[in-house]
Amino acid sequence: METFSLTDKVQTEADKRKQDELKASGPIPEHIAVIMDGNGRWASKKGNVRVFGHKAGVESVRDITESCAQLGVRYLTLYAFSTENWGRPRSEINALIRLLVSTLRSEAKRLSENNIKLTTIGQTERFPEACRRELQNVIELTQNNDRMELCLALSYSGRWDLTDTFRRLSGKVASGDLKVEDIDEELISRNLSTSCMPDPDLIIRTSGEYRLSNFLLWQLAYSELYITRTFWPDFRRDGLYEAILSYQMRDRRYGKVDHSLKNGMSNFINHITS
């Protein structure tokens, strides 16, 4: 079965130059989240079953993980398996789980050697014991790595994340350990599954679909969106560079007015009222 390697490959001079230019052109996102979509359609276009697309998508995981680490991205979150995916045919689910287990088993050492920390978010308890064991082994092996954190969203959905958080906070209110008036946005953020990482700066969705698909609904409030029609198995580092370049060209105001625009409006208002 095909696996991926997270060992840094020998970069070409052209690729190194692209990365240097990208770093010089603006800020590199601290946290990138990716909705890896299009594996099944990619396989269908090639006359193969959907599982073939999932296997091919592993190479994109390798390349994007590697290039993010090289660029200095601190957190990379990949939407690997949603809660809705449990509704897919059992044969496809079993194939996805086997692919995950085999990849974790073969890449644990390489992840550690490349100083990449693996974490997960989601209802991983729904996976078979063998899968959970492999996940835990890699998590423990890489827990002290600090080059980049690779977070796999497994059996995850944004609504589950919020519902789970509200239930736990409600329990604290019922027990008297928390006052209702103390619940604010900061407290909710601290109790989400992503509490140990900043909200994503950039979210990338492949395959051209314009929706969030129940992914990080709270955390993506001010993330910059980048949609590409490229299917995930064909999305590689050049596509990542284009996404980051697009991000660098955005004016991230977080709902506020641009300072220069604000000054211009003030001058205009003063002029027409004088």
User: Which pLDDT tens digit goes with each residue over 147-172?
Assistant: 999 999 999 999 999 999 999 999 99
Cα Dmax for the chain? 75
Does residue 14 fall inside a structural domain?
no
Q: Which two tokens stand for residue 237?
A: 């580092």
Query: What 8-state DSSP symbol labels residue 192?
Result: S
Neighbouring C-beta atoms of residue 187, cutoff 10 Å: 12
Residue 85 annotated in active site? yes
Any domain includes 4: no
Whether residue 88 is contained in a domain is answered as: yes
> Is 189 within a domain?
yes
The residue among 231 and 6 whose pLDDT is bigger is 231
The pLDDT of residue 7: 46
Q: Kindly name the residue from 8, 15, 20, 37 that is annotated as catalytic.
A: 37
Q: In the annotation, is 184 catalytic? A: no
Residue pLDDT, tens place only, 186-202: 999 999 999 999 999 99
Q: What pLDDT does 262 receive?
A: 58
pLDDT above 70 for 273? no
CB 214 within 8 A of CB 159: yes
Q: How confident is the model at residue 85 (pLDDT cuts 50, 70, 90)?
A: very high
**77 burial via Cβ count (<10 Å: 0-12, 13-18, 19+):** buried
Indicate whether 39 pLDDT > 80: yes
Please say if the pLDDT value at position 145 is more than 90: yes
Q: Which whole number is the average pLDDT over 106-132?
A: 93
Among the listed ranges 33-37, 52-56, 200-204, 230-234, which one has the minimum average pLDDT value? Answer: 52-56
Could you give the number of structural domains in the chain?
1
Q: Any idea what DSSP says for residue 208?
A: T
The CATH number that applies at residue 142 is 3.40.1180.10
- Domain contains 186: yes
Single out the catalytic residue among 15, 48, 85, 137.
85
Domain span including residue 146: 28-273
- Cα dist from 31 to 24, 178, 186, 254, whole Å: 18, 31, 19, 16
In a domain, 18, yes or no: no
